[in-house]
Amino acid sequence: MKSILAILCLGVVMTSYAQEFEISTELRPRFEYRNGYKTLIADDANAATFISQRTRLNFGYKSEKLQMFLAVQNVRVWGDVSTLSTSDTNGTTIHQAWAKLHLDAKLSLKFGRQEIVYDDQRIFGNVGWAQQARSHDAFIATYKPNKNNQLDIGLAFNEDAETLFDTEYTVDNYKAFQYAWYHTNLDAVGLSFLILNNGLTYDADGEQKVAYNQTFGTHINYKKNKLQADASMYYQTGKIANTNLNAFNVAGNVFYTINDAFKTGLGAEYLSGADSNSTENKIKSFNPWFGTNHKFNGLMDYFYVGNHLNSVGLLDVNATIAYKKDTFSAKLIPHVFSAAATVVDASGKEMDAVLGTEIDLVLGYKWTKDVSFQAGYSQMFATETMEVLKSGNKDNTNNWAWLMITVKPSLFKTKFQKE
């Protein structure tokens, strides 16, 4: 009898205010042919070919005061375990697990494992191209007084495990961060400001300490009629370990819609760097800390995708020709790369600043609402200066090709209407 009453009470609660619950999934296998991806291929190396796969199961809940989301994922390479294996190489992980409390119409609190994405994802992004993607254990307070203004205050504090006494943090990760992000819409203009205080551990005479560096910046975008543009500027200061940081990043893009199918664009980005023969005790190389760096500076990931940090920086001048009609899309993006600082070879000879040219081609086809196909081909035409930075052989054919299928259906969705 008590169980029946409990079920009836639950039913009353569930229908006394609006609630939504959804289960969705994602299956994304991707074939890659890597023949000079991320770095120039050496004479004695052969191309790599493999199929990786991301599998996700998502649970979402939403009510008037509460929102929750859970994303469980597995990332694997086809064949990384035998057909009779009793365990998995990477296993199943929690990519996201967060709750959001809507304290009132303007203020909310979000906490747990979550993706953090702002603006064009240059400083904070979810790195969605990578099969594992990126998420943070963080707390975010959001104040949104109206639809045109939003202020986010975020913080994170990391430890290895529950302990009785203070221990060193050994995970390859930041120790803590605090940030503020403000965005406002002014007619056709969107304007954002970001302040990030990022704490990294370092060893000082056998004792672990934390040094903080700061990133300040703004991002602006404009869209009206056929013209679209964006620009950003960031400055970094503070310390990394015992070394002072002084670096900056500026970027701008302009796009013009020719007609319903064609769109063109021009862009440039400058990330400061240090001369490769510099003896100055200062870090001048800009670091886009948590950005989705794959979407910048060429799809072959030669720069800032787990590489090219504390180096000579980069000047990337690029163009875009895009076509989209019905379910088909195509995009061609050439890049011309140059070093932002002086490059010298092993003998001390100063090299030309030009690093090379990359051509990226991406094709897309949306088969159904839940299923899409993408394919891409990229080729790097490198210079001798790129050889100095990356090793390998510039005269080899350095290219990369991929084919990806994304399946993202909603498996179950229900909504209880408020009485």
CATH number for the region 30-50+89-416 comes to 2.40.160.100
Say if strands 371-382 and 328-338 run parallel, antiparallel, or are unpaired.
Answer: unpaired
pLDDT at 15: 47
Listed in sequence order, the residues at least 6 apart from 383 whose beta carbon sits closer than 8 Å to its beta carbon are 352, 354, 355, 356, 394
Question: What local confidence, expressed as pLDDT, does residue 86 receive?
Answer: 87
**What would the two tokens of residue 330 be?**
């195509």
Condensed to tens digits (0 to 9), the pLDDT of residues 124-170 reads 999 999 999 999 999 999 999 999 999 999 999 999 999 999 999 99
Q: How far is CA 119 from CA 93, 161, 217, 293, 376, in A?
A: 27, 33, 11, 13, 25
Which positions ≥6 away from 1 have C-beta within 8 Å?
none
- What is the spatial distance between Cα 174 and Cα 125, in angstroms, rounded to a whole number? 16
- The CA-atom distances, in angstroms, between 357 and each of 62, 218, 384, 414 are 47, 29, 12, 51
Tokens 């002072």 belong to which residue? 244
* Model confidence band, residue 390 (pLDDT cutoffs 50, 70, 90): very high
pLDDT in tens, 356-381: 999 999 999 999 999 999 999 999 99
Determine the 3-state secondary structure of 23 from DSSP.
Answer: strand
Whether residue 6 is predicted with pLDDT greater than 50 in this model: the reply is no
Q: What is the average pLDDT score of the chain? A: 95
Average pLDDT over residues 196-201: 98
Residue with tokens 């551990």, as numbered in its chain: 201
Q: Which residue has the higher pLDDT, 249 or 12?
A: 249
Q: Give the C-alpha separation, 394 to 410, whole Å.
A: 46
Q: Is the pLDDT of residue 319 over 80?
A: yes
Tokens found for residue 214: 């700061």
End-to-end CA distance of the chain, in Å?
26
Contacts for 269-272: CB closer than 8 Å, 24+ residues apart: 269/296, 269/297, 269/314, 269/315, 269/316, 270/313, 270/314, 270/315, 270/316, 270/340, 271/247, 271/304, 271/313, 271/314, 271/315, 271/340, 272/247, 272/248, 272/313, 272/340, 272/341
Q: What pLDDT score was predicted for residue 10?
A: 46
The SS3 of residue 388 is helix
Report the distance separating Cα 296 and Cα 267, nearest Å: 11
The whole-number pLDDT of residue 190 equals 98
pLDDT at position 18 is: 86
Determine the average pLDDT of the residues in 327-346: 97
State the pLDDT at residue 416: 77
The closest of 213, 225, 134 to 179, measured between CA atoms, is 213
pLDDT at 417 over 50: yes
Residue 360 vs residues 39, 71, 79, 318, 377: alpha-carbon distances, Å: 16, 31, 29, 11, 6
- Confidence (pLDDT) at 105: 95
Residue 4 pLDDT > 80: no
pLDDT more than 70, % of the chain: 95
Q: How many CB atoms lie within 10 A of CB 314?
A: 26
Tokens of 281: 């005790």
Question: Domain map of the chain by residue range?
Answer: 30-50+89-416
Contact between 88 and 81 under an 8 Å Cβ cutoff? The reply is: yes
Residue 419, pLDDT score: 58
d(CA 188, CA 358): 33
What is the structure's pLDDT at 1? 44
